[in-house]
Amino acid sequence: MKQTCLLCGLFLALFSCQSDNSGEVPETPENKAPKNFSLLTIADNSTDVDLLASFTWDTAVDPEQDAVRYQFLLDENENPTTIISEGLDTPNYTLTEKLNTDTTYYWKVIAKDTEGNTAESETAAFTTRGLVLSVTTVQESAAFSARSRHTTLVFDNKLWVIAGDYKNDVWSSTDGIIWNLATENAGFPGREFHTSLVFDNKMWVIGGQIITDSNGLALNDVWSSSDGINWNLETANAAFDPRFLHSTVVFDDKMWIINGFDSNRVPLPSRINDVWYSENGVDWILATDTPELNATIVNEAVVFKDKIWVIAGNSNDGINNTVYASSNGIQWETITENAAFSKRNVSAAAVFQGRMWIFGRERDPFDVWYSLDGVSWFEASLLPEQNSSRFAHRVNVYNDAIFLIAGSELGVPLNDVLKLELQD
């Protein structure tokens, strides 16, 4: 009887345990995030990347085979937060809007499964390509004679070539191909290293150097013309010292003359370090005779973002790649003492497509650089590449292109015309 009761007790205990276990709900396994994946292209630290780049990355494998979609992020921050696209089914994306040139960007991808679990790639950096200029020779041998140290202008919807190499002829063209002689013998003496401006609906010629008894003579005369044929002497002896190798700009409704070289100075010819301005071409006022320009001559001067800029040239310290700027012509700031382009003088400069540009240099192969701020300079790609040198040339922005006119190659004067156009 006792044995029977013991067996019954064991049976009840076992039954009770089985009943408790059968009431438990098995735990659901945790859904896992997609596995780590890598960026493929564009690889980290890539350069010269196209502005409409294509990006690829490894497929993010999900442990439970859940569907995975991707979020593509890209901007200029080291940890990009700008979502360019999301809900992507495939591990690739091609931009539909162009990136900025010469800019460093960062990109990454976030993979997300249907349960909301995510995996994030590493971040990769890349730098976009620079601007590209196509170079076309529109005229190999223009009607005007070969020359350098001349000036060019855009006036009355025409390109103009004025003097140079001690000539005093004036030519015009509506296309850079066909050139018409305005006058073979302008009222001013033949000269070189003068400057020209468009101001008050006239063309102006200021200073320069003429030849007298085989010697160079610096000038401080000022001439104007409303048609390129008839030239009026505004003053034969302006208040500023005679000079050539100077630069001029129109700024704040005034004409400005910057630095130069005076071959007439006694006892020795010397550099000039001053800035003058005029509202009429006759009366000239000294803005400063102590600008922070280090007596830089053969420089390039442009007006950009409400400032006068002086770029490169030949200073007391020699040929340089310094950039200066002034908002009033009196106080000058050194923007950079060592721009990315090589040291140079007898170059040419222009403002085009919201940038400052500088073209060419003596002896070395022709190159083109541009800047948005005067601090960072980038070299433009030229198609086709230009292997020859060119200096003492001139450039003008005309009909949404840059026209480069004449100049010298290894000391040989030219009379060609090149057209440089910005490519997409």
Predicted confidence band of residue 29 (pLDDT cuts 50, 70, 90): confident
pLDDT in tens, 359-392: 999 888 999 999 999 999 999 999 999 989 999 9
pLDDT above 80 (res 22): no
Rounded Cα distance between 156 and 83, Å, is 49
* pTM, two decimal places: 0.87
**Highest mean predicted confidence (pLDDT) among 116-125, 261-270, 382-391:** 116-125
DSSP string, 203-228: EEEEEEEEEETTEEEEEEEEEEESSS
Q: What is the pLDDT of residue 213?
A: 76
Q: How many residues does the chain have?
A: 424
Q: Which single residue is written with the structure tokens 């006022």?
A: 285
pLDDT above 50 (res 16): no
pLDDT in tens, 180-213: 999 999 999 999 999 999 999 999 999 999 998 7
Percent of the chain at pLDDT exceeding 70: 94
Contacts of 26 (CB under 8 A, 6+ apart): none
Mean pLDDT of 267-282: 94
Q: What is the pLDDT of residue 9?
A: 46
pLDDT above 60 (res 81): yes
Rounded Cα distance between 312 and 360, Å, is 12
